[in-house]
Amino acid sequence: MFEFFSGTSVVTSEFLRRGWSAFSFDISRSSNSMVICDARLLPIKKVRVDFIWLSPPCNEFTRFFLPWFKDSPAPSLELFKTSLEIVDYFHPKFWLIENTKGGNFYISKFHKPANVIVNPWYFWTNVPNISKFSQHIVSKNSRQIRNPITRGSINKRLLNHIADRVETFLF
């Protein structure tokens, strides 16, 4: 299992806890990633990967909905495009790209819109049945958390649901 743009590596940690071989990749030295690298350079030789989780940064997309950023230039789609290239390069059995409502707005101008929405997360994925997750028990991490990487981390119950779906259809 690979996690790209991993930040806190919470996804990798969950899959490791479940007994998977899992590796996280991020460009930031302040991340909890196992490998510090630029995903656009793909410093990994092609290997078999069952599942890839990609969370390209969403801060540029989130600004779209903030009135004080209305005059900002359109966000870069480069890392979302890189995410698609990574999926194409490795051809995993399952993959998931996670982003925001703002990301969906811009991404759907060149690529299909997210096929699964569990507010506030938008997913482009081939993992079956994750849309059946009970919406009412999901919430974004508290705004009181100062670190934006931690605040933006995926909800643990939703992560467990997705991991369960992947394992159900893999094993």
* Domains (range + CATH), the chain: 2-170 (3.40.50.150)
Residue environment code for 108-135, b if the CB has 16+ CB neighbours within 10 A, otherwise e? eeeeeebebebeebbbbbebeebeebee
User: Given pLDDT bands bounded at 50, 70 and 90, which one contains residue 152?
Assistant: low
Q: Examine the pLDDT at 141 and tell me if it is beyond 70.
A: no
State the pLDDT at residue 134: 56
- 86-101 pLDDT, tens per residue? 999 999 999 999 998 8
Most confident region among 7-11, 14-18, 58-62 by mean pLDDT: 14-18
Q: Which amino acid is at 128?
A: P
State the average pLDDT for the chain. 87
